[in-house]
Amino acid sequence: MNDEERAAVGTCYKRQGPEAALALGHKLVQGDLRASRTQAWLEACARYPHGYLCCARGGQRSHIVQQWLKEAGVDYPLIVGGYKALRQAAIQATDELVQRPIVLIGGCTGNGKTQLVCSRPDGIDLEGLAHHRGSSFGRTLQDQHPQATFENHLAVSLLKKAEQQTRWVLEDEGHMIGANHLPESLRLRMAQSPLAVVEDPFDVRLERLREEYFDRMYRDFIAAVWRRERLAGIRRVSASRPVCHPPSPGAAAFCSAH
C-alpha cells in the first residue's frame, strides 16, 4: 500500500477494529492494482533472490505479500516480528560481540589510524560506518545515517567478522562521531580497553592530511558537481535528444582554475 492507503487502513483499524481494516485493505488493493503490485514484488524477488520480506512488526502487510507471492509461484521468506524484531536482534548482537577484547588505535590526526584499522581483518571502521571522519572538519559528501541505521550497520559489520575474529581493533573515538553516537555498551568497553598510539613524522602526517582533507575532497566535490550538472541537463532535454549536458560556466571555471 502507498502512504494514503496505509493511513486510511490505520484510521479504520483504530475506529472499527482489525477485521474492518483488513477488509478495507483488500478493497483498496484489488483487481488490476493488486496484479500490478504483485508483479512489482515478483520483479523485486527476482532481483534479490536471497532477500526477506519485512514490515514494521511482521504483521499483516508482510504476510499478505508473502501469500500473494506464493499464489504466483514464488516462496519468499519473511522476518518474523518485522523490523522491530530485527532491530532488537541487532542491539543484542552488538551488546554481546563488543564484550570480546578490544584494542584501540590512537594518535594525532594524520597518523593513518583509520587506514591501519581498515587494513586489519579484525578492524571495524567506525568512521566509515558513520560517514564522518570524527574530526572538526570530518563531514563528507555522504549524509550521515539516522542513529538506528548507524547502529544496525555496526551490528552487521561485527556479525560478518564474528566467526573469524576473537577481538576487535577500533579507532579511539569520542562519544560522538559527527551526529552519530556510539552505543553505550561499546563506549563502556572502549573505556576499559588498551590503547596503542600511532606516531608518524610530521611531513608524513602533513602529506596524508593534504590528500585526505584537500585533494580527495576536491576530487569528490568535482565528481559530485559533474553528476549534478549531468542530471540537470538530462532533465532539460527531451527523451528524443540524448545528449550529455556540459558543466555550468561556474563549474567549468572552477575546474580550469585548479
User: Which residues have a catalytic role annotated?
Assistant: 55
- What is the rounded distance in angstroms from the CA atom of residue 82 to the CA atom of residue 156? 17
- Measured over the CA atoms of residue 112, residue 115, residue 116 and residue 117, the dihedral's sign is positive
Q: Is 175 exposed, middle or buried (0-12, 13-18, 19+ CB in 10 A)?
A: exposed
Identify any residues that bridge with 169 across adjacent strands, giving them in sequence order. Answer: 103, 123
Residue pair 125/173 in contact by the 8 Å Cβ criterion: no
In angstroms, what CA-CA distances link 42 with 38, 48, 73, 82? Answer: 6, 10, 9, 20
Helix (H, G, I), strand (E, B) or coil at 143: coil
Q: At what angle do helices 216-236 and 249-257 cross, to 10 degrees?
A: 160
Helix (H) or strand (E) holding 238: none
Q: Give the residue carrying C-alpha cell 532477500.
A: 51
CB atoms within 10 A of CB 80: 11
Closest CA to 41 of 59, 21, 22, 61: 61
